[in-house]
A and B are shown apart, each in its own frame.
Chain A
Amino acid sequence: MKIVVNEQEHNVSATTLAALIDELGYGGARVATALNGDFVPVTHRKDALLKDGVKIEIVAPMQGG
């Protein structure tokens, strides 16, 4: 399935957001996620189903003012 993660195309086998996090190598990292612009809490990732063309955002702590 082709999806877009942080504006980059990926071909993945994961069918849920939780599986995607593991497949892309974010396992154990402190990250937050959004699916098509909507926040998906960590507890809901296993129920968040991926479809062809979905847009995922994965963010982490960064310097800020």
Chain B
Amino acid sequence: MAKQFYGVELSSPLMLGTAQYPSPEILSEAVTAAQPGVVTVSLRRESAGERAGQAFWSLIRKLGVPVLPNTAGCHTVKEAVTTAHMAREVFGTDWIKLEVIGELDTLQPDVFGLVEAARILSEDGFKVFPYTTEDLVVAEKLLGAGCEVLMPWGAPIGSGKGLNNLFGLRAMRAHFADVPLVVDAGIGVPSHAAQALELGYDAVLINTAVAKAGDPALMAQAFKFAVKAGVLAREADPMEERDMAVPSTPLIGKAMLA
């Protein structure tokens, strides 16, 4: 049975970002094709004249998909906590994808600030989805801080490199068997998403892989099928890997022709 995220069962294990699409129309087409369980959104400065944010919000409302606001671009605990409060008011949800970025080349999370911000926000009633690494010690501290979901990276944000540390992700899945886990960041193609779900991850969060595809709506559809395949494969209990060949065609009854 699918795990719940803070008591909510998502309609799909696909979480889709809304940034970097060529146009609002293509974003709409991609969301419609992907049928994601949530879409991620953010906050930026609003100009009173342009009101770009108001137009974006009405587009998201029309799509009818639950939103997961993020604190993207925040580098300090204070920035992230303040952004989370602003997001809660603007989007009307206490869900927050918590990012506290620590390093610019890899956009690796500052896990020390992340744990501190997660504690502050959890105590204030937020339901925190922390963008973290596959480090088990950090994960344990995030759970201790009140998080009920963990979102380890597959690879650096926007890199499209897939699941960079399979051993680490497997270990995390095995160690936190009952915790909803989401691979966030680094997924480049649908097979990466299927692989995460085959490993037993409960969801994947994708943005650039769809938005920067030549045909975002078609790629969104490919991801929809990939996550479905991954879930079915996990339920079907994949075979064990072996180092040596084992014939699949029975040898009994084979004609002696030599």
Tell me the A residues contacting B by CB distance below 8 Å.
Answer: 6-7, 24-26, 29-34, 37-39, 41-42, 57-65
Mostly helix, strand, loop or mixed at chain B's interface? mixed
The residue of chain A having its C-beta at the shortest distance from the C-beta of B50 within the complex is: A60
- In angstroms, Cα B20 to Cα A59, docked, is 19
In the A-B complex, the 4 residue pairs with the smallest Cβ-Cβ separation, listed nearest first, are A60-B53, A64-B42, A65-B17, A32-B86
Q: A61-B41, A63-B27 are in contact. Are A24 and B48 (CB under 8 A)?
A: yes
Residues 56-86 of B at the A interface (beta carbon under 8 Å) = 56-57, 60, 69-70, 72, 78, 82, 85-86
The residue of chain B having its C-beta at the shortest distance from the C-beta of A32 within the complex is: B86
Q: A63-B21, A65-B207 are in contact. Are A32 and B87 (CB under 8 A)?
A: yes
- In angstroms, Cα B95 to Cα A7, docked, is 29
Interface size, chain B (Cβ < 8 Å): 38
Residue from A25, A29, A62 within 8 A of B43 (CB atoms):
A62
Contact sample, A vs B, 25 pairs, CB 8 Å cutoff? A7-B45, A29-B54, A30-B90, A32-B85, A39-B82, A39-B86, A42-B89, A57-B45, A58-B45, A58-B46, A59-B90, A60-B45, A60-B51, A60-B57, A61-B43, A61-B56, A62-B56, A63-B19, A63-B56, A64-B19, A64-B40, A64-B69, A65-B17, A65-B205, A65-B208
**Contact partners of B90 in chain A: CB under 8 A:** 30-32, 59-61
The residue of chain A having its C-beta at the shortest distance from the C-beta of B71 within the complex is: A64
The answer to whether A59 touches B46 (Cβ under 8 A) is yes
Residue from B19, B44, B72 within 8 A of A60 (CB atoms):
B44
The answer to whether A34 touches B82 (Cβ under 8 A) is yes
The answer to whether A59 touches B208 (Cβ under 8 A) is no
The answer to whether A59 touches B86 (Cβ under 8 A) is yes
- In angstroms, Cα B50 to Cα A25, docked, is 11
The answer to whether A64 touches B45 (Cβ under 8 A) is no
Residue from B48, B52, B70, B86 within 8 A of A34 (CB atoms):
B86
**Contact partners of B207 in chain A: CB under 8 A:** 65
**Contact partners of B40 in chain A: CB under 8 A:** 64-65
The answer to whether A62 touches B54 (Cβ under 8 A) is no
Q: A41-B89, A62-B43, A63-B27 are in contact. Are A30 and B70 (CB under 8 A)?
A: no
Q: B157 in the interface, Cβ–Cβ < 8 Å?
A: yes
Q: B133 in the interface, Cβ–Cβ < 8 Å?
A: no
**Contact partners of A63 in chain B: CB under 8 A:** 17-21, 27, 41-42, 56
